[in-house]
Amino acid sequence: MSSQSFSGLSLFWRSLSSHRGWQTQWRKPEPKARYDAVIVGGGGHGLGAAYYLAKEHGLTNIAVLEKGWIGGGNTGRNTTIIRSNYLFDESAALYDHSLKLWENLSQALNYNVMFSPRGVMMLAHTVHDIQVFKRHVHANRCNGVDNEWLEPAEAKEFCPPLNIEGNIRYPVLGAALQRRGGTARHDAVAWGYARAADALGVDIIENCEVTGIRRDARGAVEALETTRGVIQSRKVGVSAAGHSSVIMALAGVHVPLESYPLQALVSEPVKPVFPCVVMSNTIHAYISQSDKGELVIGAGTDAYTSYTQRGALHINTHTLDAICELFPHFRRLRMLRNWGGIVDVTPDRSPIIAKTPVPGLYVNCGWGTGGFKATPGSAHVFAWTIARDEPHPINAPFTIERFRDGYLIDEAAAAAVAH
Amino acid sequence: MLLIVCPYCGKRPEIEFTYGGQAHLARPVQPSQLDDQAWAEFLYMRANTKGIYAERWRHSRGCGRFFNALRDTTTDHFLAFYKTGEAQPALSGSGASPTPRESTT
């Protein structure tokens, strides 16, 4: 695969033959009978974990099992927002670890993930929002994470389409801005990790659903039963997003997760009109503009647990009501399509990246509505946890046992989102 | 949007209701007797079933009452609605989703 390294020169060279010479980006191998480690779930987190296992821990006889196709789950369904301005020390360390990896990810993977640190601005609409965001700003500064408070006029200067008039239902009273935050091309993240992992010898096996987890007399993981046969492995990392609790139940492990539909939608493509990312947690509106020109809009979760990858239209229209008040000149834009993904939500809205009570079984789940931003950092520490059978210091607090022991990392109460 | 049949008011749109999560969870009679693991199980662990799920709804913008429902979380089709305190209805057959899709959704 290294012969297919991307550079300006290789693009020019291939253009001379009308770009016909490119090969597929990763192999389609048949599953082997035995691997040293298997990752369940071929999204960004799972592929990234396989890449870092191979790159940094020297494990190359590994496979990623994906029940559908690469990047067809939440990696390809999210609104691509990247930021790290979380309140608690544990969260700030994890998400900022990720943000630092994002900054050099294209170079590390030799694949343009189109990371664009265009700034993420979170709007405050109530006195409570102002207090919470200012607390975030101060906490972030203590942790070395950039975040600054903007008055409404400053927010409008940063994002000119924003309506800061006082006559709307939830007027803008200020904003918290993380300038290092931004977006990346979500598909490219999955493809880039898949290509880089494949080049290091990782087998990426699509259309392969895990249907059972075999354990030995000691209780340790021994093999996976899949729709493409039995695969032996002593180390299994589960990175299955909305289906994490289903997979973990196969090994008899109960995780505190509930799976909800989360919807997003895009508008018809228009010329560049929107310079940054704007989030409004209070009224559930998340908006940015893709390089294709579509406005990418995220809504809130539906009310009920479900595995259907679709949700109710009133959730989207509620978000569009908010968008139209905040950005009045988008009122006549037509929406192109909408979709849903299934997100696994923990009681404290922080993820679980940990060993489990079953020896050899590891889990990376509970990312809820905001897992994309954490992709590189999560994958990096998950690979460490699998390879060394102990957590990296960054993910050590993100255990399953924290719910038993009372060490919640309660970003839910910290108003990452109005629940 | 789901169409939900309140056992007291009849068929209404989802926006009249509030979701109440997994049904039939009883608060432990003597919480002080539980160890941390059992208490965590009660507080945080939910079945999160992929398939037929017994759940609570509240008709919060109607009669205000809680009731229970059986829903298939792989299709979002409701199989039964029943009042709080009533036993979970047995489904015909062996528990596979038997009820035909409602034509109005």
pLDDT digits (tens, 9 = 90+) for A350-403: 999 999 999 999 999 999 999 999 999 999 999 999 999 999 999 999 999 999
Residue A351: Cβ-neighbour burial (10 angstroms; 0-12, 13-18, 19+): buried
Q: Please say if the pLDDT value at position B101 is more than 50.
A: no
Is a pLDDT exceeding 70 seen at residue A115?
yes
Q: Does residue A40 register a pLDDT over 60?
A: yes
B35 contacts chain A (CB < 8 A): no
**Contact of A116 with A183, CB cutoff 8 Å:** yes
Judged on CB neighbours under 10 Å (0-12, 13-18, 19+), B101 is exposed
Interchain contact A67–B (C-beta under 8 A): no
The reply to whether B48 touches chain A by the CB within 8 Å rule is yes
Contact residues, chain A, for B18 at CB < 8 Å: 303
Q: What is the mean predicted confidence (pLDDT) over A149-154?
A: 98
- DSSP letters, A28-47, are -PPPPSEESEEEE--SHHHH
Residue B102 has pLDDT above 60, yes or no: no
The label of the residue with tokens 């950092």 reads A377
pLDDT tier at B105, thresholds 50, 70, 90: very low
- The helix-helix angle for A44-57 and A186-199 (nearest 10°) equals 30
Nearest CA in chain A to B34: A404
Closest CA to A37 of A67, A63, A55: A63
- Burial (0-12, 13-18, 19+ Cβ within 10 Å), A82: buried
Q: For residue B69, what is the nearest residue in chain A, using CA coordinates?
A: A304
Smallest Cβ distance to B40: which of A305, A314, A403? A403
From A306, which residue of chain B is nearest by alpha-carbon distance?
B73
The answer on pLDDT for A343 being more than 80 is yes
Give the percent of chain A with pLDDT over 70. Answer: 98
The answer to whether the Cβ–Cβ distance between B1 and A403 falls below 8 Å is no
Q: Does B105 touch chain A (CB under 8 A)?
A: no
The number of beta carbons lying within 10 Å of the beta carbon of residue B27 is 6
Give the number of C-alpha atoms closer than 13 A to the C-alpha of residue A183, restricted to the C-beta side: 23
Comparing alpha-carbon positions, the chain A residue that sits nearest to B44 is A256
The reported pLDDT for the residue numbered A85 is 95
A254: nearest CB among B2, B45, B76: B45
Mutate to test the interface with A, among B12, B44, B73 (most CBs of A within 10 A): B44
State the nearest Cα–Cα gap between B46 and chain A, in angstroms.
6
Looking at beta carbons, which residues of chain B come within 8 Å of A314?
1, 14-15
Under the banding of pLDDT at 50, 70 and 90, the label for residue A415 is low
The pLDDT value recorded for residue B98 is 43
Q: Is A304 on the interface with B (CB under 8 A)?
A: yes
Alpha-carbon gap, residue A232 to A198, rounded angstroms = 20
The Cα–Cα gap between A309 and A390 comes to: 34
pLDDT, position B100: 43
Round to whole Å and give the CA distance between A125 and A171: 6
From the list A95, A100, A18, the residue with the least C-alpha distance to A395 is A95
Q: pLDDT tens for residues A228-281?
A: 999 999 999 999 999 999 999 999 999 999 999 999 999 999 999 999 999 998
> Is B103 a residue whose pLDDT tops 70?
no
Q: Which residue of A has its CA nearest to B48?
A: A258
Pairwise CB contact (< 8 Å): A303 & B45: no
**What tokens appear for A140 in the block?**
């972030």
Q: Is the pLDDT of residue B99 over 80?
A: no
3-class state of residue A155 by DSSP: helix
User: What is the enclosing helix (H) or strand (E) of A197?
Assistant: helix A186-199
- What is the pLDDT of chain A when averaged over all its residues? 95
* Nearest-10 Cα torsion for A73, A76, A77, A81: 130
Instruction: Name the band, by pLDDT with cuts 50, 70 and 90, for residue B97.
Output: very low
Predicted-complex ipTM score: 0.90
- Over residues A158-187, the mean pLDDT reads 96
Instruction: Evaluate whether A167 touches A151 at the Cβ level (below 8 Å).
Output: no
Q: Tell me, what's the pLDDT at A22?
A: 87
What's the pLDDT score for residue A125? Answer: 96
Read off the pTM: 0.94
pLDDT value at A194 more than 60? yes
| Cα–Cα nearest to A418, from A235, A307, A229, A285 | A285
Is the pLDDT assigned to residue A3 strictly greater than 60?
Answer: no
Predicted local distance difference test score (pLDDT) of residue B94: 45
Per-residue pLDDT tens over the stretch B5-39:
999 999 999 999 999 999 999 999 999 999 999 99
Q: Specify the pLDDT at position A4.
A: 78
Q: Are A105 and A167 in contact (CB under 8 A)?
A: no
Give CA–CA dist A106/B97, Å, rounded: 47
